[in-house]
Structure 1
């Protein structure tokens, strides 16, 4: 599953990052995936 381009909202970078990660975790949950195991991004 690719979640590239997910953005977050908030007043600063910390809030935006937390919101983006929350959105990614929610999307993975809806797809039936468990909690994410974070890894380095893959650039192609």
Structure 2
């Protein structure tokens, strides 16, 4: 029972870390998109 609980906790921790990384990556993508839009607007390309 303990082994199952430990592996479940580890799996949950892994999922949690993966979600945090995905969230951070999403933020970077959004930031890049807004910077690109701003540069495009300023540059008049």
TM-score in terms of structure 1 length: 0.47
Of the two, which has the highest radius of gyration? Answer: 2
- Which is richer in helix? 2
TM-score in terms of structure 2 length: 0.46
Which structure has more RCO (C-alpha within 8 Å, separation ≥ 6)?
Answer: 1
